[in-house]
Amino acid sequence: MSKIEPSWDYYRTFLMVLKEGSLSAAGRELGLTQPTVGRHVDAMEEMLGFPLFTRSPQGLLPTDAAQALRPYAETLAATSAALLRAASGQQDTVSGTVRISASEVVGIEVLPPILAELHAQYPDLTIELSASDAIEDILRQEAEIAVRMAAPSQDALVALHIGAVPLGFHAHRRYIERRGMPKTLADLSRHSLIGYDRETAAIRAIIARSPDLPEVRFALKADSNLAQLAAIRAGFGIGICQNALAARDPDILPVLADGFTMKLETWLVMHENLKTAPRCRVVFDALAKGLRAYIRQPEVATVQ
Amino acid sequence: MSKIEPSWDYYRTFLMVLKEGSLSAAGRELGLTQPTVGRHVDAMEEMLGFPLFTRSPQGLLPTDAAQALRPYAETLAATSAALLRAASGQQDTVSGTVRISASEVVGIEVLPPILAELHAQYPDLTIELSASDAIEDILRQEAEIAVRMAAPSQDALVALHIGAVPLGFHAHRRYIERRGMPKTLADLSRHSLIGYDRETAAIRAIIARSPDLPEVRFALKADSNLAQLAAIRAGFGIGICQNALAARDPDILPVLADGFTMKLETWLVMHENLKTAPRCRVVFDALAKGLRAYIRQPEVATVQ
DNA sequence: TCTTGCTCATACATAAAAGTATAACAACGA
DNA sequence: TCGTTGTTATACTTTTATGTATGAGCAAGA
């Protein structure tokens, strides 16, 4: 039963050529030379029996067949990276690499202090932070731990409910002094509103739960919640952001705080298999503690 | 950014050594020689920084660390197999390989005629049938299409509800002539019952829906539903099987057909990404049609 | 006790894959 | 228009990986 399977390395170079668009660039990225990369592609094409790229002097154009194979190659790459991370933590001590997936806002505004404290406690721990709104599938092992804004539906996942992150309209003090403070939701139509460009899953969930939201025209549309936050801080207008983030800056004022509230349920998600891995356990616990503290923060501020 | 990543082929040989338990056996299976396999393992150990196996003259014993890495390597193997299957169907025509996961009973008793007709229509199609009760995860790409007995909870899956497969007690005519036909559920305690050894998910679901099931002591316990079916056919005693299967053989009689009914909801599941793949589409449609016909079959038999 | 059969480890020869150098071609900008 | 920089493709060389052959150790069975 010794059938000849092609080298798995071919898939790696194939994916890199797909990503980079040329043999030369893929070679640079992989630490190989251009002829070698070309030979890998040739070998793979011959073994599959159909062309993967149409060659041209300005690069390689992938065929439809190559595009169809891409997700498999990406899964291979993600899995082998996960294997290496898992191997990095196999020592007796808490060490190695843990990859965390979180939204841009959480990854940039919320997590850094939590991770800083964690790293001070475990210096041998390396954290990979995938600060992107793309839903990296934990099941695909693209990350060990994820901060999610929706309850995970999958089995075989450890999901810890952190709590509800309150959201609200906010604006910079400068903007309010210039344009006045709206008293009702209807007043918003006379203001510069900062909103989303594309509808994401989180936004749809909010809209579904808030039927009294007026139809608004946004003065600034940005897909990135981080850009929206920056616009609020710059005094561009009124936008939605996490109350806890706004409370950090005394110049960011809540707008219509009584009339309108939204909540983002937050979950911490991890592979069930990783429960026993010390490095993941430690990061998971630190994130749970840190995020819960972050959520409690605004309530304390309100009491003041 | 040209960091040196180890060859992905190392993971393949690592997995095979894990499976086979020796360098020589792994080499035989992979079409490599024993020294090569040993070198791969050595290289991998050196790059990871810890031993994967403890060598001995009677084979290699995996360390805990190696066991921890095993699932990753298995995902890699499953994915690369899926890639090759996907590539096999990239031709313009309906061709290539499709892997189907189904329970033993369905795979052996129900699917063969459906697949035979399908293959007659598309001779270039190769079918891989994974006839095992193990729940092969469609998300892990271990199979393109699965016949499941529970509604899939995952998103990103195409799930077609086939219908409910009726189950019931059955016994061979010889057994009934010898031991008599039970009239009530209570009578079952005086009979030779064929039942399960371990509790599976499907069994737990049935028990939950049937609180009037008496506590019974099984005369024959078998994990394999196929073995149970064979025992019924051999006249061992009374067991549960699909009505449609029993109806095929006039010597298999329904027992307590009025007083006790169970149903197994059946779903056909496929990756959403594979909807457009012709070879998968064709198999999916054929299975849907064939399974629906199979389910309708017993009702017709009852009307007779 | 002495085969037989299995294992892993080592030394050496070979084959395969990589790198090097260069040519040919296209696009972009001065 | 011509040089620069990018691309792929080809011939040649070198390195690397693999295969072959062999030795040593352990276990089961005659």
Domain membership flag for residue B20: yes
pLDDT value, residue A302: 37
Domain membership flag for residue B236: yes
pLDDT at A197 over 70: no
Q: Do A11 and B83 touch (CB under 8 A)?
A: yes
Domain membership flag for residue B250: yes
Q: Is B278 helix (H, G, I), strand (E, B) or coil?
A: helix
A297 touches strand D (CB under 7 A): no
Distance of CA B5 to the CA centre of its chain: 36
Same domain? A134 vs A280 = yes
Same domain? A96 vs A57 = no
Same domain? A199 vs A252 = yes
Which residue in this structure is represented by tokens 């679901």?
B205
Same domain? A36 vs A93 = no
Q: Are B86 and A72 in contact (CB under 8 A)?
A: yes
> Does any CB of chain B come closer than 8 Å to the CB of residue A48?
yes
- φ, ψ of residue B69 in degrees (nearest 5): -85, -15
Q: Do A90 and B154 touch (CB under 8 A)?
A: no
Residue finishing a domain among B58, B83, B108: B83
> Does any CB of chain B come closer than 8 Å to the CB of residue A145?
no
Strands (E) in chain A, as ranges, are 53-56, 59-62, 96-102, 125-131, 145-148, 157-172, 193-195, 220-221, 238-242, 252-255, 262-271
Checking each nucleotide's C1' against the CA of A58, the nearest proves to be D7
A55 touches strand D (CB under 7 A): yes
Interface test with A, best of B1, B3, B8, B128 (most A CBs within 10 A): B8
**pLDDT 10s per residue in chain B (304 long)?**
435 689 999 999 999 999 999 999 999 999 999 999 999 999 999 999 999 999 887 889 999 999 999 999 999 999 999 999 999 988 778 889 999 999 888 999 999 999 999 999 999 899 989 877 766 678 778 899 999 888 887 777 899 999 998 888 999 999 999 999 998 888 888 888 888 765 555 555 555 655 566 566 778 888 788 888 999 999 898 998 999 999 999 999 999 888 777 888 899 999 888 988 999 999 999 999 999 999 885 444 333 3
Same domain? A170 vs A257 = yes
Domain membership flag for residue B136: no
Bases on strand C under 7 Å from any protein CB: 6-11, 17-21, 24-27
Give me the CATH number covering residue A149.
3.40.190.10
Confidence of residue A117 (pLDDT cuts 50, 70, 90): very high
Domain membership flag for residue A297: no
Tell me the longest C-alpha to C-alpha distance in chain A.
79
Give me the CATH number covering residue A12.
1.10.10.10
Q: Do A80 and B11 touch (CB under 8 A)?
A: yes
Same domain? A100 vs A234 = no
Task: Write the residue in B8, B68, B153 that is nearest to A90 by C-beta.
Answer: B68
Residue B80 burial (CB count, 10 A): 24
Domain membership flag for residue A105: yes
Q: Are A193 and A239 in contact (CB under 8 A)?
A: yes
Domain membership flag for residue A270: no
* Euclidean distance between CA atoms A229 and A238, whole angstroms: 10
Tell me the two tokens of residue B10: 């190392």
- Residue ranges making up the domain that contains B51: 8-83
Domain membership flag for residue B192: yes
Residue finishing a domain among A59, A83, A107: A83
* Å between A187 CA and nearest CA of chain B: 40
pLDDT value, residue B297: 59
Tell me the two tokens of residue B7: 């060859």
Query: Would strands A193-195 and A220-221 be described as parallel, antiparallel, or unpaired?
Result: parallel
pLDDT value, residue A212: 60
> Does any CB of chain B come closer than 8 Å to the CB of residue A139?
yes
Tell me the two tokens of residue A241: 């952001």
More confident residue, B89 or A201: B89
* Euclidean distance between CA atoms A192 and B46, whole angstroms: 60
Task: Write the residue in B30, B50, B87 that is nearest to A48 by C-beta.
Answer: B87
Q: Are A220 and A195 in contact (CB under 8 A)?
A: yes
Q: What is the pLDDT of residues A124-160, one digit of tens each?
A: 899 989 887 766 678 778 899 999 888 887 777 899 9
Q: How many CA atoms lie within 13 A of B172 on its CB side?
A: 15
- Bin B256: left if φ > 0, else alpha if -120 < ψ < 50, else beta: left
